[in-house]
Amino acid sequence: MEITLELVERLREKAPVSYTLAKEALEYSGGNLLDALIYLEEKGAIPRQEGAYYSTKGEAPPPPPPPVPAAPEPKAEPGTGKKKKKKRPARESGAGGQSTLLQTLRRWLIDNELEIWRRGKPVTSLPVLILLFLVMFAYYVVIPLLVLGLFLGFRYRFSGPDLERDGLNHVMENVADTAADLGRQVMDELRNQSREKQAGAEEAQRAAADLEREAADLERQVVDDLLGGRSEKKD
């Protein structure tokens, strides 16, 4: 089944995932929305409701996870009435901060993507990290190609937890529409100029043919006059 933009949007209305992940789920399920939702739940992309299980493939529901025992509360020290606090390693906060920073960078650079669409169908998608590398090291090729794609009817949009915003994608859609309209106007102007040049060339060919016919007629007339004059002299 062909995966269209409308089908991806319908799945994203039911599950808050990126365009790429929604397209992957629909391709896996053959375009079935219910199986696509199950696929996303199995991957952990969307939470599964507690005690709920549904499937169109006839599979048995997985067993519920065992209960996790609650951690014992710290005992109060005798004579103080205060609970004894658990000591943390001295470098735990620094390591946690670095881990959070790495997770944030990974989310921004890997989970966010630039998607390329044309005529309502996805063409490809690039993580922001790859896009940044291409722009930094081959901007003289990448930027002209992206701009040319706008004039040829391509559409760009961002997806992901940080860049998938209606305002940003709406601005990009407006820019793409404006560029596509301008591209159509340029192509129409070039076609009109080509037709005018072709019509001028045809007119020039007709004029040249008329001149050749007139020259041939004049030549025949001169020959006839000369031959007629000679015949009169002989008489």
pLDDT, tens digit, for every residue of 12-47?
A: 887 878 888 888 888 888 888 888 888 888 877 777
Q: Which residues contact 220 (CB under 8 A, 6 or more apart)?
A: none
Q: Are 101 and 113 in contact (CB under 8 A)?
A: no
Answer whether residue 137 is part of any domain.
yes
Q: Answer with the residue of higher pLDDT: 98 or 210.
A: 210
Same domain flag for 118 and 219: yes
How many domains does one find in the chain? 2
Same domain flag for 116 and 47: no
Task: Look up tokens 């960078």; give the residue.
Answer: 105
Number of alpha helices (DSSP H) and beta strands (DSSP E) in the chain: 6, 3
d(Cα 188, Cα 173) in Å, to the nearest integer? Answer: 22
Answer whether residue 3 is part of any domain.
yes
Answer whether residue 73 is part of any domain.
no
State the CATH number of the domain containing residue 36: 1.10.8
Answer whether residue 156 is part of any domain.
yes
Q: What is the mean pLDDT of residues 124-145?
A: 91
Q: Return the biggest CA–CA distance within the chain.
A: 161
pTM of the predicted structure, to 2 decimals: 0.43
pLDDT winner (highest mean) among 84-88, 136-140, 186-190 = 136-140
Host domain of residue 206? 112-235
Weakest mean pLDDT among 7-11, 48-52, 110-114, 220-224: 48-52
Q: Answer with the residue of higher pLDDT: 80 or 129.
A: 129
What tens digit of pLDDT does each residue of 99-128 get? 788 888 888 888 889 999 988 888 888 899
What tens digit of pLDDT does each residue of 160-218 get? 888 877 788 888 888 888 888 888 888 888 888 888 888 888 888 888 888 888 888 88
Answer whether residue 79 is part of any domain.
no
Q: Are 109 and 128 in contact (CB under 8 A)?
A: yes
